[in-house]
Amino acid sequence: MATILLGISGSIAAYKAADIASALNKDGHEVHCVMTKSATEFIPPFTLQTLSRNPVLVSLQDEKNSWKPGHIDLADRADLLVVVPASANTIANFANGLAPDPLCSIYLATRAKTLICPAMNGKMWDHVATQRNVAQLKLDGADFFGPDSNGMLACGYEGKGRLMPVDEILDYIRKSLA
């Protein structure tokens, strides 16, 4: 069974990460959730802690229980880093090598495969800056699944930008691990 780091960033779709954490845990994987501060505005860490059966990492300043920084330990042990949902901001941080929080630091520190599942307003996704960041991350070896090309967005727009359906993300993760 795999050690999976589930990154969650600040999108209205963040609550869907709860189903991903629960399903991967039921599959028998060791699941560790890493949330951005913004993500905690959308879903409480406590929910993800309960469903993943592991403490949730939010702040680099929380890591005072061990000589080895928790985010580096997780980065070393990971078989897969999957970011669901990935915000435009977190994608930009990854693409530019910025490390303001545990999630972005883990992206830099791990050598595990990285799967990014974006969710955002369609105009944010289509913006040349976001597309440049996505292209850079693909060149750097990251894998993308989504966003969905159709559907009603929480911001009121219809079209591209939604998180891919949870069952399809789970299928994609299971195939990536096989």
Ligand X SMILES: Cc1cc2nc3c(=O)[nH]c(=O)nc-3n(C[C@H](O)[C@H](O)[C@H](O)COP(=O)(O)O)c2cc1C
Site of interaction with ligand X (CB under 6 A): 9-13, 36, 38-39, 87-90, 119-120, 124
Residue found by looking up tokens 């369609």 in the block = 122
Contact yes or no for 143/155 (Cβ under 8 A): no
Strand residues in the chain grouped as ranges (E): 3-8, 30-35, 80-86, 113-118, 143-144
Query: To the nearest whole angstrom, how small is the minimum distance from the Cβ of residue 59 to ligand X?
Result: 12
User: Nearer to ligand X by C-beta: 29 or 160?
Assistant: 160
80-86 and 30-35 beta bridge pairing: unpaired
For 131, counting Cβ atoms within 10 Å of its Cβ (0-12 exposed, 13-18 middle, 19+ buried), the class is exposed
The count of other CB atoms within 10 Å of the CB of residue 28 is 9
Query: To the nearest whole angstrom, how small is the minimum distance from the Cβ of residue 27 to ligand X?
Result: 26
Query: To the nearest whole angstrom, how small is the minimum distance from the Cβ of residue 106 to ligand X?
Result: 13
User: Nearer to ligand X by C-beta: 25 or 89?
Assistant: 89
User: Nearer to ligand X by C-beta: 21 or 119?
Assistant: 119
Q: Would residue 155 show up in a list of annotated catalytic residues for this protein?
A: yes
Query: To the nearest whole angstrom, how small is the minimum distance from the Cβ of residue 178 to ligand X?
Result: 29
* Catalytic site residue from 33, 104, 117, 155: 155
User: Nearer to ligand X by C-beta: 29 or 120?
Assistant: 120
DSSP string, 138-153: HHTT-EE---BSSSB-
- Interacting residues of 113 by C-beta distance below 8 A, sequence separation 6+: 79, 80, 81, 143, 176
- Show which residues are catalytic: 155
